[in-house]
Amino acid sequence: MKTQLEQFVRKYLKSINDNNAAIFAGAGLSIPAGFVSWKVLLKEIAEDLKLEIDKENDLIGLAQYYVNEKGGRGSINQKLIDEFTKEATITKNLELLARLPIRYYWTTNYDKQIEKALERANKSVDDKIVAENLSVSLPRRDAIVYKMHGDISLPHKAVLTKDDFENYNSERQLFTTALQGDLVSKTFLFIGFSFDDPNLEHILSRIRVLLGENKRDHYCFFRQPQASDYKGKSKEEAEVLMQYDRLKLQYKIKDLTRYSIQALIVDDYDEITHVLQLLNNKIRRKNVFISGAAHEFGTFGEAKANEFVYELSKTLVEKSYKIVTGFGIGIGSSVINGALSHVFSTKYQHIEESITLRPFPQNVPSGQDSKKIWADYRTDIAEQSGISIFLFGNKLSGNDVVDSNGMIEEFDLCVRKGVIPIPIGVTGYVAEKLWTKVNDQLTNYGYETEALQESFSNLNDVTKTNKELTNEIVKIVNLLQ
């Protein structure tokens, strides 16, 4: 990956972890889902006016001309409904954005794709469509979506014409004020945005004047024009056009630095997906799933096992990792007690920042499929986590102690979801079998460096003390960051 993108990932990751990150989504995020650009939206309108859309640059003015000619905007409202209520897919980029622990989303899009993606990620969404919405809050909301130009549910209030933009401050002044506050206090990632919006430019200009050199850094993606963009042109003509567009882009990029917006240049849109995936991976790898079940503790013995699990959980939380646990039989209490022992000894750390409890439901209502419910639970846990530690792995079946099939399912699911597995072989049972499986193909499971492989081999060394084992596990978790 380019150094510039690596630096962005590192800095934006810090903003996310500090709860100071925000997204500003433009039309470029919705068009791949199946929605139209402004030019396509207004193509028929231009034809009605006997104009050619490819010759028009002032699309806001074009929409106003149509309203002037028709004496109202009923036809435009219907056009919005026709185009933005149709079925569309949730793109990979939207899916990745929705998974990030980001609370604040701004958009000029009329469609519902951001909200749908967030809801699919099991987040409660508080939509802000008109100014009146800003004075009330949805209880227990996970994300706030500010529809700066309105929403398809209220097409007559969508910001589209010159009148709408000129009256913006009188009709939607609170959106301007709220955006100004977020631009001052949060780090924005602009994605799918062209920076041709007059409202946004006005807001950025005011912030530049107010803050001088003390502005907060923001980021935006731009794709470098490529020769393949000029199909139908001769090689020489395509080269001339490409160099012209690249020069123009450089001027735009330099101008945006006045507002502390740093451009992230990509050659292909797939690079944006890669960056968003990397952000997700790094966020998830701060969440460590502890999978374990123990009716018996083998050579460890119950006392030593409880001490080991307690110290491991406590140390991970001390190192600012968040533990995810399904409260496995025999180890769940030690996981929780270890994590909480550090939380309660630290003044500024909150329980929800250190541990997520996902105990499996034991009494499933009649008529519901318990296997499906448990599978859904495991999937949710795996999608929250980036690393998974596997301990012991046995249960009582009748009078016999057998392997925990649930742990095997969790291992397989975690691997499918890209979670790095850390089976602690010395704890025996399923964990030992999983250690052998991973050890046979270390690079396939994410152990690509010599340091990782050396520490992994120590997880099956029965001579290691609890403290030494804990140190090796934490070392692996640290290296995986």
How would you write the pLDDT of the chain (481 residues) with one tens digit per residue? 578 898 999 999 999 989 999 999 988 898 888 888 888 888 888 899 999 988 888 888 888 998 999 888 888 888 888 888 877 889 999 999 999 999 999 999 999 999 999 999 989 999 999 999 999 999 989 999 999 999 999 999 999 888 988 888 888 889 988 998 898 899 999 999 888 766 667 677 767 776 676 778 999 999 999 988 998 889 899 999 999 999 999 999 999 898 889 999 999 999 999 999 999 989 999 999 999 999 999 989 999 999 999 999 999 999 989 999 887 888 989 999 998 887 777 765 667 778 887 766 656 566 666 677 767 777 878 888 999 999 999 999 999 999 999 899 999 999 998 899 999 999 999 999 999 999 999 999 999 999 999 999 999 999 999 999 999 999 999 999 8
Report the largest interatomic distance among the alpha carbons of the chain, rounded to a whole angstrom. Answer: 86
Is residue 363 included in any domain, yes or no? Answer: yes
Contact yes or no for 426/305 (Cβ under 8 A): no
Same domain, 198 and 322: no
In a domain, 454, yes or no: yes
Q: Is residue 2 part of a domain?
A: no
Q: Domain check: are 260 and 317 in the same one?
A: no
* pLDDT tens-digit map of 375-414: 777 787 888 899 999 999 999 999 999 999 989 999 999 9
Residue 238 lies in a domain: no
Cα 226 from Cα 228, distance rounded (Å): 5
CB 127 within 8 A of CB 151: yes
| pLDDT value of residue 80 | 84
Domain identity same for 260 and 327: no
Which residues fall within 8 angstroms of residue 470, CB to CB, at 6 or more apart? 308, 311, 312, 315
Clarify whether residues 295 and 376 are in a common domain.
Answer: yes
Count Cβ atoms below 10 Å from residue 428 Cβ, excluding itself.
22
**What are the angstrom distances between the C-alpha of 31 and each of 57, 97, 160, 179, 274?**
19, 16, 17, 24, 19
208 and 302 together in one domain: no
Q: 204 and 145, same structural domain?
A: yes
| Claim to verify: residue 98 and residue 171 sit in the same structural domain | yes
CA 274 – CA 279 distance, rounded (Å): 9
Contact yes or no for 390/431 (Cβ under 8 A): yes
Task: Please check whether residues 170 and 205 belong to one and the same domain.
Answer: yes
Each residue of 405-461: pLDDT tens digit?
989 999 999 999 889 999 999 999 999 999 999 999 999 999 999 999 999 999 999
Other CB atoms within 10 Å distance of the CB of residue 238: 18
Domain count, the chain: 2
Distances in Å between the Cα of 466 and the Cα atoms of 228, 289, 306, 335, 427 are 59, 19, 10, 15, 11
**Active site amino acids:** 149
Q: In sequence order, what E strands does 259-408 have?
A: 261-266, 287-293, 322-325, 355-357, 387-392, 394-397, 400-403
Instruction: Judge whether 60 lies within some domain.
Output: no
Per DSSP, the three-state class of 232 is coil
CA dist list (Å): 269 to 6, 92, 282: 16, 12, 21
CA distance 311 to 323: 13
- Asked whether residue 258 falls in the same domain as residue 328, the answer is no
CATH of the domain at 310: 3.40.50.450
Mark which of 229, 264, 299 sits at the end of a domain.
264
Other Cβ atoms less than 10 A from the Cβ of 3: the count is 7
Instruction: Tell me if residue 284 falls in helix, strand or coil.
Output: helix
Residue 459, in any domain of the structure:
yes
Eight-state DSSP code of residue 190? E
Domain boundary among 264, 295, 315: 264
Hey, is 226 helix, strand or coil? coil
Tokens of 323: 């533990």
156 found inside a domain: yes
Q: Kindly state whether residues 331 and 433 are assigned to the same domain.
A: yes
The answer on 183 and 331 residing in a single domain is: no
Q: Is residue 95 part of a domain?
A: yes
Same domain, 310 and 452: yes
Domain that holds residue 305: 285-479
Q: What is the CATH number of the domain that holds 159?
A: 3.40.50
